[in-house]
Amino acid sequence: MKNINVSLLFFALISTLFSNELDSKKYNVVFIAIDDLNDWIGPLGGNPQAKTPNFDQFAKESITFNKAYCPSTVCGPSRSAILLGKYCYNTGVYGNETNLKDAPLAKDLETLPEYFGNRGYHTLSSGKIFHKHRKSDGTMDHMAWAFHEHVPENAKKWGLEWEILPKLEGVKAYGGDVKWGATQGKLEETKDFVTMDWGAKQLNRDFQGKPFFMALGISQPHLPWNVPQEFFDRYSLEDIILPEIKMDDYEDILTKDGKPVYGKEDASFTILEHHKMHRDATRAYLANVSYVDACLGHFLDQLKKSPCYENTIVVIWSDHGWHLGEKKRYGKVNFWEESARIPFFMRVPNLSPEGVQSDAVVNLVDMYPTLLDLCGLPENQENDGRSLVPVLKDPSIEWNEPTVITWQRNNHGITDGKFKYIYYGKSNGAEEFYDLKTDPYEHTNLVRNPEFSQLVDQYRKYLPKTNVPTSPLNKNHKGYIKRMKELQEKKKQKSKS
């Protein structure tokens, strides 16, 4: 009897040690960022015309967050907030002209990959993760995100055949702008495919026993919309269905003095409307979404075949959305759903149920504390977000605290996925309030409707109490340089007059 008990104790001890060894084995992390992708993918249903088989398949293997929002609706501040786990109104990084490593309140904080790297992970990256971030500051063990580091020689000659948006006299277009075209090269020669292929090749590397944190950035569907012809061919121009556009959409958006906030639509919309090219632009964006799907699918297929698949967390997200004519806009930088709501998926082996959708209200600043929690790393006390592990374990859990979206200082959107409150700071005091269930395109501003006054007051309480000053601008940024030239030109014109 004693021998049996000793044997049982021995096997129990071995089992416990084995179990502890499994528990202590750190997850790898694959962190995939996509630029300017809105909800026009199969799992989110933003546009039923979108052909995204790889997103569709990944949604069956992960959790899809239906109510995920970006911390800001432009690349620089959004990515800075995500990678610091800290809202822009606490760092002063409000625009693309500020590098987070130059911001006084952000420069000494550990970014997400730094935090992992400083605690035993091998960190590596390719593609756009940071925005205008210096490569030499030691953020990762290996940053191969410069295209020329791993692009095939022939891919540098891939070429373009542009379909440039015609100019319209008297209208200054929004930047460099809404233009698109098919590349002459093959899919395998394009930048984003090369980035994802590079990532796939790292999966079988030996990192000397370390777990890895790999960040991969896909640049499309950021303008210009240039992808191989095969992706344009997936969509017939004649069959394109346009988003719902309301031409008097701005009439109920007023300043505190009762003046219109938006005089007219943006310039790109004006030009596309004049030339009747809305369908062309919509088709081009859809082609880019399908291209992103193909690049993503290539990497995910290789991940499934790799030995690390069963121990690797995969997070897929977009830094913000994009308007395709809705609200008479082609672009971002506002608080409406097309700009603020984004794709967000997480696959956590042996923890999360697969193929489910969650209506939990999340902000991408939550990714930082969530990944630390999942990987058994200590909390970062600087994080503003909260761990989503309870949601990952039970996607049906009630998780509906309103979240904050910021664009420039003192301007915020507050939403819980049911209602949206927008406040344009002290400059003009404009407010908006929408019922997202009955009015998903946010056509009817309810802020002056007395029936909603108490509800509006509830959302106002979530406005940040403090908005730290804007951080110094990066003087090498093209936006800053352009702004300075414009100011100098105005001074010259003023002195002449």
Active-site residue, 70 included: no
- Give the model's pLDDT for residue 21: 37
Tokens of 436: 């997202």
Confidence band (pLDDT; 50, 70, 90) for 163?
Answer: low
Tokens of 133: 């971030």
Q: Which residue do the tokens 């291209």 mark?
A: 291
Strand partners, 161: 182
pLDDT digits (tens, 9 = 90+) for 201-221: 999 888 999 999 999 999 999
**What's the mean pLDDT in 462-482?**
81
Radius of gyration of the chain (CA): 24
- Give the model's pLDDT for residue 483: 64
- Give the model's pLDDT for residue 369: 98
CATH 1.20.140.10 fits 26-247+277-398, yes or no: no
Taking 50 as the threshold, does the pLDDT of residue 78 lie above it?
A: yes
In the set 70, 75, 295, 375, the catalytic residue is 75
Q: Which residue do the tokens 């009955």 mark?
A: 438
- Give the model's pLDDT for residue 484: 66
**How far apart (Å, rounded) are the C-alpha atoms in residues 112 and 106?**
13
Q: Of 20-34, 54-68, 87-101, 230-244, where does mean pLDDT reach its minimum?
A: 20-34
How far is residue 420 CA from its own chain's centroid? Answer: 19
DSSP letters, 124-156, are EEEES-SSS--TTS-SSSEE--SGGGT--GGGG
Tokens of 326: 């809705």
Taking 90 as the threshold, does the pLDDT of residue 252 lie above it?
A: yes
**How far apart (Å, rounded) are the C-alpha atoms in residues 175 and 325?**
16
Q: Which residues of 127-160 are buried (b: 16+ CB within 10 A; e: fewer)?
A: bbbbbbbeeeeebbbebbbebeeebeeebeebee
**How far apart (Å, rounded) are the C-alpha atoms in residues 94 and 56?**
34
Report the relative pairing of strands 344-347 and 312-318 from DSSP bridges.
antiparallel
Active-site residue, 131 included: yes
Give domain limits for the chain. 26-247+277-398
**What's the mean pLDDT in 398-414?**
96
**How far apart (Å, rounded) are the C-alpha atoms in residues 280 and 235?**
10
In the set 70, 88, 122, 131, the catalytic residue is 131
Identify whether the C-beta of residue 385 lies closer than 8 Å to the C-beta of residue 368.
yes
Tokens of 119: 């605690």
